[in-house]
Chain A
């Protein structure tokens, strides 16, 4: 497979995530779209690491092609921590306003 096909797939998934953040007003769905964008980036990082695994540098270096996959691992770690905090914030918001409409957060302006 060519790297361009992976870039196109990741672009489509990322754009679907962006559109979801823009058009949905349910806070949980917005949060899930952020997760979708993170996953699109993860897929692209893995594809690039396998692209570089062919290069001659990868034959000599021990860890050259594995670095991008370590990055993906750390992105997953940060995503897990982010989800726990974000869901706690959503639960707190629901407890205070009895709604999870993100437009309710407008009142934070004042």
Chain B
């Protein structure tokens, strides 16, 4: 029962933050709302006992990526409300299209009869001991390849961001 209440609260927080991110005109406030969404998703991970991913989500997304976004917004001095000229017809069409997608997928979801429970608050699959063992035995090659990916991303960012 308690789990249910926490789940609903975190879900409302995530959806509300996402909607506020969309409707806010100021880019800095929009980024702060997205950080709210990331924290509530981390709360979901803790509720599912995926502790490692909860911490990594906060460090990587809320800590690194969003600070990078904020840094770029401050650098370009965009914190004024500088939305370019709006096209209300296109916005209306976009909302209708997205809403139709959501309605179709939700109606298919509600039509399914199966009920699969999710293991909440217990279970060892999300602990760092088991994840580390999996990562460094079965997935050690993708792990090493991702370091090459990071190196190429770093070089690419420097080359793109360089003047001329």
Q: If the complex has contacts A18-B101, A69-B52, A74-B146, are A25 and B109 also in contact, measured as CB distance less than 8 A? A: no
The tally of residues in B whose CB lies under 8 Å from a CB in A reads 85
Q: Are A88 and B157 neighbours in the complex by a CB distance under 8 Å? A: yes
Given A15-B102, A88-B161, verify A76-B57 contact (CB < 8 Å): yes
Partner of B15, one of A12, A67, A82, A89: A12
CA distance A7 to B32 in the complex (A): 25
Please, which residues of chain A bring their CB within 8 A of the CB of B117?
Answer: 1-3, 51, 54
Tell me whether A11 and B105 are in contact in the complex, defined as CB-CB below 8 angstroms, given that A26-B27, A80-B65, A84-B157 are known contacts: yes
A residues near B116, Cβ cutoff 8 Å: 2-4, 51
- Residues B60 and A80 in contact, CB atoms below 8 Å apart: yes
The number of residues on chain A lying at the interface, defined by a beta carbon within 8 Å of a beta carbon of chain B, is: 73
Q: Which of A19-42 contact B (CB under 8 A)?
A: 19-20, 22-26, 28-29, 31-33, 35-36, 39, 42
Known contacts A76-B60, A92-B161, A53 near B125 by CB under 8 Å: yes
Which residues of chain B from 34 to 67 have any CB-CB distance to chain A below 8 Å in the complex?
34, 37-38, 41, 44-45, 48-50, 52-53, 56-57, 60-61, 64-65
Q: Is the CB of B76 within 8 A of A94?
A: yes
Hey, which bits of chain A sit against chain B, CB under 8 A?
1-9, 11-13, 15-20, 22-26, 28-29, 31-33, 35-36, 39, 42-43, 46-47, 49-51, 53-54, 58, 62-63, 65-67, 69-70, 72-74, 76-85, 87-92, 94-95, 99-101, 103
Nearest first, the 6 closest Cβ-Cβ pairs linking A and B are A22-B94, A65-B125, A19-B98, A81-B153, A23-B94, A15-B102
Binding site for A on B (CB under 8 A): 3-4, 7, 11, 14-15, 18-19, 21-22, 27, 30-31, 34, 37-38, 41, 44-45, 48-50, 52-53, 56-57, 60-61, 64-65, 68-69, 72-73, 75-76, 78, 82-84, 86, 90-91, 93-95, 97-99, 101-102, 105-106, 109-110, 112, 115-120, 123, 125-126, 130-131, 133-135, 137-139, 142, 146, 149-150, 152-154, 156-157, 160-161, 163
